[in-house]
Amino acid sequence: MLVNTKQPETSGTQSDADTQSGLGRAVLSLSGISKEFPGVKALNNVSLNLYAGQVTALIGENGAGKSTIVKILTGIYQPNGGTISVNGAEINFPNAHAASAAGVTAIHQETVLFDDLTVAENIFIGHAPRGRFGLIDTVRMRADAEALLTRVGADISPTARLRDLGIANKHLVAISRALSIDAQVVVMDEPTAALSHKEIGELYALVERLKAEGKAILFISHKFDEVFRIADRYTVFRDGEMAGEGIMQDVKEDDLIQMMVGRTVDQIFPKIDVELGETVLTVAGYSHPTEFEDIGFSLKKGEILGFYGLVGAGRSEFMQSLFGITKPSKGAMRIDGEIAIVRSPAEAIEKGLVYVPEDRGKQGAVIGLPIFQNITLPSLDKTSRKGFLQLAEEFKLAREYTERLDLRAAALDQDIGNLSGGNQQKVVIAKWLATQPRVIILDEPTKGIDIGSKAAVHEFMGELASNGLAVIMVSSELPEILGMADRVIVMREGRLAGEFDRDTMSAEALVRAAAGIGEVAA
Amino acid sequence: MITQFIKSREALLLLAIAIVIALVSTRFPDFAAPANAANIFNDTSILIMLALGQMVVILTRCIDLSVASNLALSGMVVALINSIVPGLPVPILLIIAISLGMIMGACNGILVWKLDIPPIVVTLGTLTIFRGIIFLISNGEWINAHEMSASFKAFPRFELLGLPVLSWMAVLTVIVFAIIVIRTPLGRAFYAVGGNPHAAVYTGIDVGFTRFMAFVIAGGVSGLCGYLWVSRYAVAYVDIAGGFELEVIAACVIGGISIAGGIGSVGGAVLGALFLGIIKNALPVINISPFWQLAISGSAIIIAVAVNARSESKKGRVILKKAEQTT
């Protein structure tokens, strides 16, 4: 249930925004919204106002809280505090249905439609026109769908199966659906992420049409060029807090970047200066037919190499190919100067290269297995003798590495599922360290864990480097990259977009390279 | 340790079994007597062995519907060999039966591994194919007791230290499975593959190969049971053990082997099988129609799954919290 903690400044923010715009009341207004998850404060006192016939861009880094606010807008999450009002009237969205009834609809990054239903069924699912006996009136549904599709300028048959449509057409279906429920507010969550140039052009035209119809549009995007092209207003989030809002005409690109990244450094990064050793890993010309192209770099002992980029830049995919999960179409890897052919994760582990995946729930921990068995899983050849596991050896290995990581658990034979997120992350890292690797790839090592655990992971990362391990850290969090990395490689759309060392790396430079606006301003 | 055991699925099952035995004993005091208990165990031996084979398959998030057909085909082949070459010693027949079963299991495993076909579809297909092959090699005819050699029929009945060889085979299988599951890297891989296939890939475990091995092991057990079944009942025909795969899967489910993979124990599978075996033997003793047996086993399955679902829903909430944190 929604708890309304009415704050006095709420109404003030509202009227400020109104006077700024000079366009009257916002159709939808969120103010003083906070949302907490166990151990993580996702949103802290943020507000967002959407106006009829205007596009508001929501800008922020990965993890700034954009997705969370969309989920609050669409009734999937309930905020811990703050108010939502529609046309000035305060309202609660206890579930997705309530949000949709209030006229809020969202078009998501991945379209949430049903592949095996027809276009018309997708548009009207949940509110299909009924005929006699309450049965679905198929004829009217098709006719209405046809009319809606024409209105958005889509040349799609209402009886086509959704599976057979391209992504752009799926978006059009989603938009038709939005129109069919007479939405006042349309949320577009990175709608252009998967579209081609031409399709993006068509999407812009559609947004213009929605504007003309008086819809209030929230447009979430990483791409500055499209924000400047399409948005009337902007709101910037940073680390779950408001970093600025206003009218697009009054702002320059640099200001937006400043709002996005400029922050007080409240986390102290235990960066240890390490004497770099000889080169351990060299990668040249790694390519994949669809995910990345011509990636190359080298890595020295004791070095922490950051990989920065937007979500979907191909960083994880590239790392997975180094680790032998996907096969590169081209490219060579050398470990200690010798060509290393890695066809499977087992071979990578054997050669001293390990990968700590991003999604520890899905790819890291085996829930149901006790802690010590999770840790020894990749080291079973070490803990077994003549093909039989030695439980005492397993416990010894597990104890050694959990102690090094300062893991707090009642017992090593308890189910890993009972641990908190941060501690699970420690177990997953302990698992890899127990294989005694030469190169360790950490993919978003601190994503979704609490501050305390974050600091422990950072400290440990520094320790690893000072012990001569070569570390690759894939991260979308700028402070983490700036605080920990000796060198940073930026990837954009599957390609190298820049390399920075400690002297040249700055928040602005990295964001520019990642978003592809370096050339414009420089 | 003790409190952990009391809360476990195995303890619950043990309690259920004790209640059934106690209830039956009030009507028929000799039910729990050692001689009768040994009989029941002997009767349940094949179910126990097959349940263990099925368990490793289910642990890897697969299922093997072809175990009973595999048993019937292996049994028919050794019966045919025995009728043609009566002099062939039993150990050689055992090796033939086990190898044949393993080959059939390997067929299942290869299809699941290399062609990535869902296990339920693969084994539904081989279930029918194996039965069909029995018909082809036997021309649909029975092989009866008088066509089998004396030693062929005597082997499972031969008493050793008060128990027939059939029971000893089950005991041996339990020990071997306990060692495989608890003490070998392969056994650990079964749990990892079923518990989280994605994580297993990242730790360097070959998910497909692990599943393949589970099918081969289950096949080998089915082959062994094929000989034991045919020699014990002294008859081989197309339909032996028809539908028995469902009883085997039921034993696993009652024993707490999670159909979603990754959870289960040797003790659970054995107790699940024993529970069904005891019900089956108890009902005639207290004059209840055998048809009730089906209803009781059915209820036991649903109760077992409901208990499972309840204990797993607690975990579900933890996962949800995690999902929220990462967004």
Contact A417 B318 (CB under 8 A): yes
In chain B, which residue's Cα lies nearest the Cα of A385? B184
Give the global pTM: 0.76
- B276-300 per-position pLDDT tens digit: 999 888 888 878 877 787 788 788 8
Partner-chain residue, chosen from B188, B321, B325, that has the shortest CB–CB distance to A380: B188
List, in sequence order, the alpha helices (H) in A50-196: 66-73, 96-101, 119-124, 138-151, 167-180
In chain A, which residue's Cα lies nearest the Cα of B325? A448
d(CA A401, CA A359): 21
Contact A369 B325 (CB under 8 A): no
- B164-197 per-position pLDDT tens digit: 999 999 999 999 999 999 999 999 999 999 988 9
Q: Which helix (H) or strand (E) holds A332?
A: strand A330-335
Chain B interface includes A39 (CB < 8 A): yes
Distance from CA of A421 to the nearest CA of B (A): 7
Give the per-residue pLDDT at A483: 84
Chain B interface includes A3 (CB < 8 A): no
d(CA B226, CA B231): 9
DSSP character for A362?
A: I
Least confident of A156-165, A400-409, A496-505, B80-89: A400-409
- What is the SS3 assignment for A415? strand
A483-512 exposure pattern, b = at least 16 Cβ within 10 A, e = fewer? bbbbbbbbbbebebbbebeeeebebbbbbb
Contact B182 A37 (CB under 8 A): no
Please identify among residues 236-265 of chain B the ones whose CB lies closer than 8 Å to any CB of chain A.
262-263
Instruction: Report whether A222 contacts A517 (CB < 8 A).
Output: no
d(CA B295, CA B12): 20
DSSP character for A129?
A: P
Give the per-residue pLDDT at B315: 44
- Partners of residue A366 in chain B, C-beta under 8 Å: 191-192, 195-196, 199-200, 262
pLDDT-derived band at B7, boundaries 50, 70, 90:
low
Chain A interface includes B8 (CB < 8 A): no
Sheet containing A295-300: order of strands = A295-300, A279-287, A330-335, A338-339
pLDDT at B308 exceeding the cut of 80: no
Sheet containing A304-308: order of strands = A353-356, A439-443, A470-474, A304-308, A487-492, A495-501
- B192-211 per-position pLDDT tens digit: 999 889 888 888 899 999 99
- B12-55 per-position pLDDT tens digit: 888 888 888 888 888 888 888 888 889 999 999 999 999 999 99
ipTM at complex level? 0.76
Give the per-residue pLDDT at A452: 62
Contact A366 B202 (CB under 8 A): no
Least confident of A8-12, A335-339, A376-380: A8-12
Contact A387 B185 (CB under 8 A): yes
Distance from CA of B116 to the nearest CA of A (A): 17
What amino acid occupies position A68?
Answer: T
Tokens of A436: 């005694």
Partner-chain residue, chosen from B184, B198, B263, that has the shortest CB–CB distance to A389: B184
CATH topology of domain A265-352+438-522: Rossmann fold (3.40.50)
Tokens of A148: 């809606």
- A444-495 per-position pLDDT tens digit: 887 766 656 677 778 888 888 888 889 999 988 887 888 888 899 999 888 8
- Tell me the percentage of chain B whose pLDDT exceeds 70: 92
pLDDT at B324 exceeding the cut of 80: no
Distance from CA of A405 to the nearest CA of B (A): 19
Chain B interface includes A336 (CB < 8 A): no
Domain extents in chain A: 265-352+438-522, 361-436
Contact A389 B319 (CB under 8 A): no
Identify which of A20-29, A213-222, B56-65 has the greatest average pLDDT.
Answer: B56-65
Contact A355 B183 (CB under 8 A): no
- A359-374 per-position pLDDT tens digit: 666 677 887 888 899 8
Contact B321 A362 (CB under 8 A): no
Instruction: Report whether A466 contacts A302 (CB < 8 A).
Output: yes
* Among B7, B305, B321, B60, CA closest to B206: B60
- B238-279 per-position pLDDT tens digit: 999 988 999 999 999 999 898 888 889 999 999 999 999 998
Average pLDDT, chain A: 81
Chain A interface includes B178 (CB < 8 A): no
Selected residue with higher pLDDT from A182 and A329:
A329
- Partners of residue A385 in chain B, C-beta under 8 Å: none
Partner-chain residue, chosen from A355, A373, A421, that has the shortest CB–CB distance to B325: A421
Chain B interface includes A388 (CB < 8 A): yes
Q: For helices B67-84 and B34-59, give the axis angle rounded to 10 degrees.
A: 120
In chain A, which residue's Cα lies nearest the Cα of B184? A388
Partner-chain residue, chosen from B192, B203, B315, that has the shortest CB–CB distance to A417: B315
Chain A interface includes B154 (CB < 8 A): no
Chain A interface includes B192 (CB < 8 A): yes
Give the per-residue pLDDT at A56: 93
Tokens of B114: 């290399």
Contact B202 A447 (CB under 8 A): no
- Partners of residue A388 in chain B, C-beta under 8 Å: 179, 183-184
| Alpha-carbon torsion, ordered B274, B279, B280, B284, to 10 deg | 140
- Please give the C-alpha separations between residue B248 and each of B56, B271, B276, in angstroms, as whole numbers: 12, 12, 10
Partner-chain residue, chosen from A71, A367, A447, that has the shortest CB–CB distance to B326: A447
